[in-house]
Amino acid sequence: MTKKRVVITGMGAITPVGNNVADSWNAVKNGQSGVGPLTRIDADKFNAKVAAQVKDFDIEQYISKKDARKMDRFTHYAIAAAKEAVDDAALEINDDNAADIGVWLGSGIGGMETFEQQYKNLTEKGPRRVSPFFVPMMIPDMAAGQVSILLGAKGINTCTVTACATGTNSIGDAFKVIQRGDAVAMITGGTEAPITELAVAGFCSNTALSTNPDPQTASRPFDKDRDGFVIAEGAGVVVLEELEHALARGAKIYAEVVGYGASGDAYHITAPAQDGSGAMRSMQQALKDAGVEPSAVDYINAHGTSTYYNDMLETLAINNVFGDHAKKLAVSSTKSMTGHMLGAAGGIEAIFSALAIKESIVPPTINLVNQAEECDLDYVPNEAREMNVDYALSNSFGFGGHNATLLFKKYEA
């Protein structure tokens, strides 16, 4: 069976650096950080004092207050990003095509804020005061469900939950749906709203979060002084479309999706495989899926969390996959600016990778002052770089040993 070609025709974003794609992209191109003091919850309770929070977001710009009250914040972010992406794609969903347009939207954690609030209601006021919307607000698939309902997309509707690999797995699996002919378009990506007391307490307890109190320097991937990731929130959503369908309706095309790889470490619940082999297999699969040689890749948007082992082992994996070419690659971590959006990270980083191709500019890794010895690649330190990008790779790795990689290509007719 001939594989159908798949392209990106729309993008939407709610991030700590902007409440749309244009603002988010301009911020990361200019090295602007979205990290600030932790204010959504009481920072005095926690070792971590900073977070990358979404600012000035109003869900009532997208849906009614009545409807919004029946949804968790992670679903709010997904709806806003999905509506922007579909509008950007100028994709009309109607009775004629609705069954051929699907939604594949993931969340690593889901409605943690709802969970905490309703448990408080239960313990303080009794079971009758638990909301009847508690379960449908909390479950991670509800972002996909609500986006489908709101936009009228009646094709495959599903949700991936693979921790910090969620957004990349979602886009990769949606890519395969179109490639095999089961949909003409997919609304796909990731969303997360994890800045809650319980989630932050958990990440603090397992020492994953940075305890650097300075917002401007806390997220510092590949730097020798890195000490953990900065928790972040938001959503990144793309419209993937079968090429002929996109061309027939005159859609603009950002980039082509050509490869997807996914693997399991089978090693540890939180730590990556100590030889980087899981990340290696994921990248190798994406290249093989696309039929592309490693030497063709120009840019890698790294997972780059600013944790000691992740940055070191991703670097090791890149060196092993790309060999001599690894030192010629531009590699950057936009998490240095957005923080780590967990299940949404792969969604926004797919957008940044496609825009790097479209605009011939690679975003930087900021706060890279003293590059760690074990991190020996070109991480585009502190300033964006103008360069031609024909192929861009995006990596995401998650708790549970989940690894996912997407390969994007400059679109050519």
**Residue 371, Cβ density class (10 Å: 0-12 exposed, 13-18 middle, ≥19 buried):** middle
With contact defined as beta carbons under 8 Å apart, do 274 and 267 qualify?
Answer: yes
**Active-site amino acid positions:** 164
Cα–Cα distance, 180 to 183 (Å, whole number): 8
Asked if the 6-248 domain carries CATH number 2.60.40.420, the reply is no
Contact criterion met (CB below 8 Å) for 109 and 75: no
Closest CA to 279 of 347, 324, 326: 326
Contact 144, 103 (CB under 8 A): yes
Report the 3 state secondary structure along the chain: CCCCCEEEEEEEEEECCECCHHHHHHHHHCCCCCCEECCCCCHHHCCCCEEECCCCCCHHHCCCHHHHCCCCHHHHHHHHHHHHHHHHHCCCCCCCCHHHEEEEEECCCCCHHHHHHHHHHHHHHCHHHCCCCHHHHHCCCHHHHHHHHHHCCCCCEECCCCHHHHHHHHHHHHHHHHHCCCCCEEEEEEEECCCCHHHHHHHHHCCCECCCCCCCCCCCCCECCCCCECEECEEEEEEEEEHHHHHHCCCCCCEEEEEEEEEECCCCCCCCCCCCHHHHHHHHHHHHHHCCCHHHCCEEECCCCCCHHHHHHHHHHHHHHHHHHHHHCEEECCHHHHCECHHHHHHHHHHHHHHHHHHCEECCECCCCCECCCCCCECCECCCEECCCCEEEEEEEECCCEEEEEEEECCCC
Residue whose token pair is 């797919």: 350
Q: Which residue shows structure tokens 């070792």? A: 47
d(CA 208, CA 315): 19
C-alpha torsion angle, residues 285, 282, 13, 188 (rounded to 10): 60
- State in Å, rounded, how far the first CA of the chain is from the last one: 21
Q: Give the torsion through C-alpha atoms of 340, 344, 346, 352, to 10 deg.
A: -80
Contact between 377 and 243 under an 8 Å Cβ cutoff? The reply is: no
Q: Give the pair of three-digit tokens for residue 366.
A: 């900021």
Distance CA 164, CA 273 (A): 15
Contact 35, 219 (CB under 8 A): yes
Angstrom distance (rounded) from CA 201 to CA 188:
30
Distances (CA, A) of 104 to 51, 178, 252: 27, 12, 22
Extract the tokens encoding 1. Answer: 């069976």
Question: Which of 13, 352, 30, 398 is CA-nearest to residue 229?
Answer: 398
From first to last of its 413 residues, the chain has per-residue pLDDT tens of 789 999 999 999 999 999 999 999 999 999 999 999 999 999 999 999 999 999 999 999 999 999 999 999 999 999 999 999 999 999 999 999 999 999 999 999 999 999 999 999 999 999 999 999 999 999 999 999 999 999 999 999 999 999 999 999 999 999 999 999 999 999 999 999 999 999 999 999 999 999 999 999 999 999 999 999 999 999 999 999 999 999 999 999 999 999 999 999 999 999 999 999 999 999 999 999 999 999 999 999 999 999 999 999 999 999 999 999 999 999 999 999 999 999 999 999 999 999 999 999 999 999 999 999 999 999 999 999 999 999 999 999 999 999 999 999 999 98
pLDDT tens-digit map of 116-134 = 999 999 999 999 999 999 9
pLDDT, tens digit, 9 for 90 and up, residues 152-163: 999 999 999 999
Q: In one letter, which amino acid is 301?
A: N
Q: What is the CATH architecture assignment of 260-409?
A: 3-Layer(aba) Sandwich (3.40)
CA-to-CA distance for 34 and 47, rounded, in angstroms?
20
Range list for CATH 3.40.47.10 in the chain: 6-248, 260-409
d(CA 299, CA 406): 12
Residue 405's DSSP bridge partners are 261, 395
The overall pTM is greater than 0.95: yes
- Residue 100 to residues 145, 241, 260, Cα–Cα distance (Å): 16, 11, 22
